[in-house]
A and B are shown apart, each in its own frame.
Chain A
Amino acid sequence: MLWESILPHAIASEASQVGPKSNLIQLRMDSDAFAGFYERSARPLWAYLARVSCDPALADDLMQESYVRFLSAARPPRMEDGEVAARRYLFRIATNLLRDHWRRPVSASIEEMPEEFFAARDESARPDSEQNETLAMLVPAMARMSPRERQLLWLAHAEGYSHKEIAEVTGLVSASVRLLLFRARRKIGRFLREPVRRQP
């Protein structure tokens, strides 16, 4: 279904300008192209948001908002950059939304948020419900990390992003990413080697 067909003409025509000279990947692409991109990128994005925020419900909301902002963006990535760039742009939007969410409470920075605030909120990720030994080991260890560390670790080791790509997504300097990631990896490695402590 072409969604722009039920929109006012001015907007629909702007949304459907798909031609050989059009080089924007989205909003210039039709709803079918978006559906394909969505199918390929939505689950990894949700996993990133859910594991970093430790809150699946929040991940649901932020994922939808990320796509809406992605489609409404004034300066979207170009087609020539490919889907990888579009996906990176999407993760950047999601990262900014996470940061905005964490800044909304009293704390001014995500670094100042207490670890307890993020821990034990991910009900679906508890070992009992996941039935996965790796997650049973990973989730408690993730809960003991700071949000920034979780972001860096997930982008580097789950998504396989390079330092430069992580810097683009998070807004950090590439050299800082390397240092922070090294420390975070060492820290979570220590937690992962510890025996899993089951909560009563």
Chain B
Amino acid sequence: MLRSCQCEAEIRQLLELGHWPQSCPPELRAHAESCRSCGDLILVTQAFQAGRAASLSAPQLPPPGVLWWRAQLRRRNAAVVRINKPLFGAQIFAFGITLLVAAGLITSQAKQSWHWFTSLRSEVADWIASISQSQAFHFQALFPVTAIKSGASLMYLVTGLAMVALISGVVLYLASEKQ
């Protein structure tokens, strides 16, 4: 049960000022001897004050400049992390956009590229067949003219692949820059 004595505050004040027991009235001293709560207060406070005084000389303190320096370093690192946060977000965004563009490009070019590939294959087959059937070697047969004519899609494909390579390079550069 919590029962605090009325004299506790006065005794605590005397203890904090270091006036106990020299400067305290005799009746208060007599009360402290009979009151368990005040007796505990005096005993514990004196023990802890003495313990504190004995402990103050114990530590080997590091110089304050070291702590100051460590705090500054920590603040600088925190600032760097804070600054890099939006950059990292931008890198993620760029990577996502790159993937979307690449997927769209491949989808749009796949059909035309397939047509070009099939026509090229047939031209090559015809050319090989004509070579095998001809008596002499015809240089003009080396160039699949029809394939080149239908190769507008080839230009698209090469351009698309170059764009993907370029954007991927930018993304890789941004990612490696952070590291």
* Among listed A45-53, A78-86, A99-107, interface-contacting one: A45-53
With a CB–CB cut-off of 8 A, which chain A residues contact B62? 64
Question: Chain B, 22-53, contact with A by CB distance < 8 Å: what is the 0/1 string?
Answer: 00000000000000000111011111111110
- Contact, CB under 8 Å: A67 / B71: yes
With a CB–CB cut-off of 8 A, which chain B residues contact A7? 72, 76
- Contact, CB under 8 Å: B61 / A43: yes
With a CB–CB cut-off of 8 A, which chain B residues contact A148? none
- Contact, CB under 8 Å: A60 / B47: no
- In the complex, which range does the number of interface residues on chain A fall in? 35 or more
> Does A143 lie at the interface of the complex (its beta carbon under 8 Å from any beta carbon of B)?
no
A155 to B, closest residue via Cβ: B48
- Contact, CB under 8 Å: A47 / B56: yes
With a CB–CB cut-off of 8 A, which chain A residues contact B78? 72
- Contact, CB under 8 Å: B71 / A192: no
> Does B67 lie at the interface of the complex (its beta carbon under 8 Å from any beta carbon of A)?
yes
Complexed CA–CA distance, A92 and B39 (Å): 30
With a CB–CB cut-off of 8 A, which chain A residues contact B52? 44, 47, 154, 158-159
- Contact, CB under 8 Å: A34 / B68: yes
> Does A8 lie at the interface of the complex (its beta carbon under 8 Å from any beta carbon of B)?
yes
Complexed CA–CA distance, A138 and B47 (Å): 6
Report which of A43, A56, A138, A160 forms a contact with B50, defined as CB distance below 8 A.
A138
> Does B19 lie at the interface of the complex (its beta carbon under 8 Å from any beta carbon of A)?
no
> Does B65 lie at the interface of the complex (its beta carbon under 8 Å from any beta carbon of A)?
yes
With a CB–CB cut-off of 8 A, which chain A residues contact B70? 64, 68
Within 8 A of B (CB), among A3-53: 3-4, 7-8, 10-11, 15, 27, 31, 34-35, 38-39, 42-44, 46-47, 50-51
- List 25 A–B pairs whose Cβ atoms lie within 8 Å, in order of A's numbering: A4-B72, A7-B72, A8-B76, A11-B76, A31-B65, A35-B64, A35-B65, A38-B67, A42-B61, A43-B61, A44-B52, A46-B58, A56-B59, A60-B60, A67-B64, A68-B70, A72-B74, A72-B75, A141-B47, A153-B44, A157-B48, A158-B51, A159-B52, A185-B40, A193-B43
